[in-house]
């Protein structure tokens, strides 16, 4: 099992493999993220935060927060009197989030925790976001249940993640780019394996409809989704009744 590829792992093996992989790529994560998304990820995050419909003074949590790029738009939405926290299970990624500019005078609270077992009481928050995290958790249904649990009634959840374009021609272009260029970019930093995980895990990832069904089973209402970036990214949202 020692040589098993990260994208083939499941359950607790996946948890450990993903945690180790993000620890390895934490130093170059932000740079490669900006290059690969053509810096559009900031725009997608702002759109996702709009979907949370947050008000000044609200409490918001970013799960799988990584290097903390959701913190600034969340803090902007809840204002100086609001509360923003980020949770991730990989310390080197969280360390990159500490002291990031753009969060204003307030420092978001950052903590270690697992998306499938959040260290947060039930009915605590008005908004929960996840960016490119759901694909990585070992139990997606369980994660959706946890995200639902920590929201107050009326609170909203939003998730951005990779998707496979529905259009066949676009899917071919994407597969070429993600299967060749992305691992090549990773190889420049000696991280070919970690950057092969991105296209492989996207191919293995649940469809838009499967994710929406899982959210509905967890209890979410008003579940919807929308493609971005020619269908390479999909945003899902839902509300706790
Ligand atoms: C692709 S990165 C995304 C980081 C950040 N959300 C962003 O938008 O840039 C995925 C993050 O999810 C975290 N992660 C994966 N599985 C997790 C889990 N089960 N619990 C908590 N964090 C997890 C990883 O450590 C990593 O920081």
Residues with CB under 6 A from ligand 1: 15, 18, 22, 33, 64-67, 69-70, 88-90, 93, 114-116, 131-133, 136-137
**Selection from 94, 88, 34, 43 nearest residue 61 by Cα:** 88
Sorting pLDDT into bands at 50, 70 and 90, what band is 1? very low
Phi, psi of 89 (to 5 degrees): -100, 10
Q: Which of 39, 133, 140, 201 to mutate to test the pocket of ligand 1 (most atoms within 8 A of CB)?
A: 133
Using CA atoms, how far apart are residues 241 and 10, in angstroms rounded to an integer? 32
Taking only the tens place, the pLDDT of each residue in 135-179 is 999 999 999 999 999 999 999 999 999 999 999 999 999 999 989
Nearest CA to ligand 1 atom 23: 64
Sign of CA dihedral 47, 48, 49, 54: positive
Give the strand pairing for 233-239 and 151-162.
Answer: antiparallel
Taking only the tens place, the pLDDT of each residue in 14-33 is 999 999 999 999 999 999 88
**How high is the pLDDT of residue 108?**
66
> To which H or E segment does residue 151 belong?
strand 151-162
Domains of the chain (ranges, CATH numbers): 6-162+207-239 (3.40.50.150)
**How high is the pLDDT of residue 140?**
98
Q: Give me the residues paired with residue 224 across strands.
A: 237
3-state secondary structure of 158: strand
> To which H or E segment does residue 87 belong?
strand 83-88
Taking only the tens place, the pLDDT of each residue in 44-96 is 999 999 999 999 999 999 999 999 999 999 999 999 899 999 999 999 999 99
- Please report the atom of ligand 1 found closest to the CA of residue 143: 19
Cα 87 to averaged position of ligand 1 atoms, centre (Å): 9
**How high is the pLDDT of residue 99?**
82
Cα 160 to averaged position of ligand 1 atoms, centre (Å): 12
Mean pLDDT, all residues of the chain: 92
Taking only the tens place, the pLDDT of each residue in 185-208 is 888 888 888 889 999 999 999 999
Per 3-state DSSP, the chain is made up of helix, strand and coil in percentages (nearest 5) of: 50, 20, 30
Cα 16 to averaged position of ligand 1 atoms, centre (Å): 12
- CB burial string 110-128: b at 16+ within 10 A, e below: beebbbbebebeeebbbbb
**Selection from 164, 168, 152, 160 nearest residue 201 by Cα:** 164
The most distant pair of C-alpha atoms in the chain lies apart, rounded to whole Å, by 50
Burial class (CB in 10 A: 0-12, 13-18, 19+), 39: exposed
**How high is the pLDDT of residue 189?**
84
């Amino acid at each position: 099992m020692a040589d098993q590829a990260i994208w083939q792992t499941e359950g607790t093996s996946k948890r450990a493999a993903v945690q180790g992989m993000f620890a390895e790529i934490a130093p170059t994560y932000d740079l490669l993220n900006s290059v690969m998304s053509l810096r559009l990820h900031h725009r997608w995050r702002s759109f996702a935060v709009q979907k949370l419909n947050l008000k000044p003074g609200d409490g918001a949590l970013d799960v799988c927060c990584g290097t903390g790029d959701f913190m600034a738009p969340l803090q902007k939405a809840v204002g100086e009197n609001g509360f923003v926290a980020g949770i991730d299970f990989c310390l080197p990624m969280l360390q990159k989030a500490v002291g990031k500019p753009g969060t204003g005078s307030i420092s978001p609270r950052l903590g270690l925790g697992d998306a499938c077992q959040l260290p947060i009481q039930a009915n605590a928050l008005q908004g929960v976001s996840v960016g490119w995290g759901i694909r990585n958790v070992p139990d997606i249904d369980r994660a959706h249940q946890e995200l639902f649990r920590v929201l107050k009634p009326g609170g909203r959840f939003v998730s951005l993640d990779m998707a496979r374009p529905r259009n066949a021609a676009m899917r071919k272009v994407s597969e070429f780019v993600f299967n060749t260029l992305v691992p090549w970019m990773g190889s420049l930093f000696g991280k070919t394996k970690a950057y092969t995980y991105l296209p492989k895990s996207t191919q293995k990832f649940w469809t838009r409809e499967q994710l929406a069904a899982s959210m509905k089973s967890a209890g979410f209402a008003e579940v919807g989704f929308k493609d971005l970036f020619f269908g390479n990214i999909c945003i899902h949202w839902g509300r706790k009744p």
